[in-house]
Structure 1
Amino acid sequence: MFVEENHFYFMKDSYFRDFPEAGLMPNKIIVNNAVHDRPAYFALRDSTDPEILWFIPISSKISKYKRIAEEKKRKFGRCDTIVFGDILGHECAFLIQNMCPITSRYIENEYMDHNHYPVRIPYRLEKTLSKKVRRILLLEGQGKRITFSNVMKIKHDMLERAKTSKAPSA
């Protein structure tokens, strides 16, 4: 599957089995007795390894995350781990604090609108997310834990899995 940066995708269940330490939200929920792909993740390409994408989950629980963001701003003077923006006319929270590394192997499908076009966000929001994610990854790379899971360990383990699956058999 060809995966584009700054698009939204859904994960395969195998990611949750292979990386349970990621501590992510459940993959699918039931709405009106029908299974829906959830949550959707916003994809950003890793700056050091093009095989890796950073998936940022989105949530519609705006009041919950606005309270958390305000508390972080009071405590630290800023909040780089939660960003708010519109998706398909609805405000959503981009949860950088819950982001995770992924490869195309674990991507189920792309999030499409009702006309079957890829869901997109404004360029300005893309740039804000990219800037904050790069800052968080820099801090994580320095050994500071900002995200809920150990994303650098997961990235390392994911790259190791990719190497062993590409290795020729003896």
Structure 2
Amino acid sequence: MAEVERQERRRIDPANCSMGRALSVVGERWSLLIVREALDGASRFGEFRARLGIASNLLSTRLDGLVGAGVLRRVAYQEPGDRQRFEYRLTAKGRDLRPTVIALLAWGDKYLADEEGPSVVVRHGTAGDHDCDEPVALVLECAAGHSHLTPDAVYRSPGPGARFLPA
């Protein structure tokens, strides 16, 4: 036990951080907004540009980065009489960003929404008979099943890949 406590007091090297790596992929404003729009069904360059009001050169750069990171994949398509173009579809890695997008939206709704309230509400709805249409909330839960943890009830500890700074 003393060895574990000693390691926990040591400072973990911040360069070896999954959060930092994630932010290098989606930490820029436009990247997460593109993911948000893809989660809402956008897949073509013109759709992203129209929905976001983003400059074409910036959109191209961000789409290339998200494809390079494996968040989106390019799928060729061709309209009759037109040149080949690409759609951008979410990969499993991209779809797994939905809780992140919902968490940022919830934080923004709580602290930054207009007086009238949030502009959108995320609701539960799936194809088939499972639509309930109720608002969605993210919940912190531990591996033992304790749910609805408060932010103050959690802490970071060294993981198996932790690298420590010299003492």
User: TM above 0.5, one fold?
Assistant: no
Task: From the two aligned structures, give the one with the greater strand fraction.
Answer: 1
Task: From the two aligned structures, give the one with the greater helix fraction.
Answer: 2
Rg larger for: 2
**What is the TM-score when the length of structure 1 is the normalising length?**
0.24
